Amino acid sequence: MRYHLIIAVLTMVLTACSGSDHAPQPSSATDAGSSDGRTSTADRQANSAPDAAALAGLHGRRGELLNPDASTMVFLYYDLAGLTPPFDEWVERDMRVQSAPAIDKAARRASVRSELEAASRAVRDVGLIRVSMNADLSDYDPANAEFTVGALAPSSYLAFDAFGEKIAVNFANGRTAQIWSVPADQAQSIRDRIGPGRDVSIDALLRITAVQPRAGGGAVTTSVVEYDLRSGKSGPAIAHRSMTGT
């Protein structure tokens, strides 16, 4: 297996792996700055959660990753958990080492190990993650006056798989974060903008709060700080939400 080690932040869209155990609860954090639920840039800046620079994740870490790839998340997990990555094992499994002529193997091992160690160092102090993914937005629920963002449900998580390790990123405040409360008189306007296919993406800022080792990988627990919903992958903004108590 070939591992592509890319520590530079990537503009890739991650899809949340969602289960069916959604337990919606009403939230008081509703952003509906205009008659159709949109907020102006000024309103968003005034009412948004603290800037990333003012936030701190687990152990006071303030660094931020944008749409990290699977390899990066494995390095981050090891760093958060205080574990030493098995560099020797990863080096030997790297195809660049396996395919190198015998005379070049020592140099190739050194090169790959140096690359791995640099990638591991690059995630130190990271406590925040920004991700973009499909929102898995429900239709409007008139009984509860809300939409549900399935991507953030308590049963949902982001899955990363690299170096034979599986890392899951879950959402500690998913029960609250998944609820987008919208007054009934604004719902139809929002539904019209979303369209029948409900193709809505989410850009979310996550604060790392805990890490849990598991056999063959681990779990990284996060708290949703804020998120934007937009039509499609790069369409106009539909709503902005900031969580409180994160």
Give dist(CA 197, CA 41) in Å, integer.
Answer: 27
Indicate whether 24 pLDDT > 90: no
Give dist(CA 116, CA 91) in Å, integer.
Answer: 8
Average pLDDT of the chain is 83
Give dist(CA 2, CA 23) in Å, integer.
Answer: 40
Cβ atoms of 242 and 29 closer than 8 Å = yes
For tokens 């990066």, the residue is: 72
| Domain-embedded: residue 86 | no
Expressed as residue numbers, the domain containing 56 is 41-81+124-242
| Domain-embedded: residue 1 | no
| Domain-embedded: residue 199 | yes
Question: Both tokens of residue 101?
Answer: 């002529």
Among residues 126, 146, 209, which one has the least CA distance to residue 172?
A: 209
Among residues 224, 177, 223, which one has the least CA distance to residue 28?
A: 177
- pLDDT confidence band for 246 (50 / 70 / 90): low
Give dist(CA 65, CA 13) in Å, integer.
Answer: 13
pLDDT number for residue 195: 82
pLDDT number for residue 8: 35
More confident residue, 129 or 32: 129
Indicate whether 3 pLDDT > 60: no
| Domain-embedded: residue 187 | yes
pTM above 0.95, yes or no: no
| Domain-embedded: residue 105 | no
Convert the pLDDT of each residue in 172-186 to its tens digit: 999 999 999 999 999
| Domain-embedded: residue 96 | no
Other beta carbons within 10 Å of 203: 20
Give dist(CA 17, CA 19) in Å, integer.
Answer: 7
| Domain-embedded: residue 91 | no
Convert the pLDDT of each residue in 212-235 to its tens digit: 999 999 999 999 999 999 998 888
Tally of domains within the chain: 1
| Domain-embedded: residue 29 | no
Percent of the chain with pLDDT over 70: 77
- pLDDT confidence band for 38 (50 / 70 / 90): very low
pLDDT number for residue 29: 31
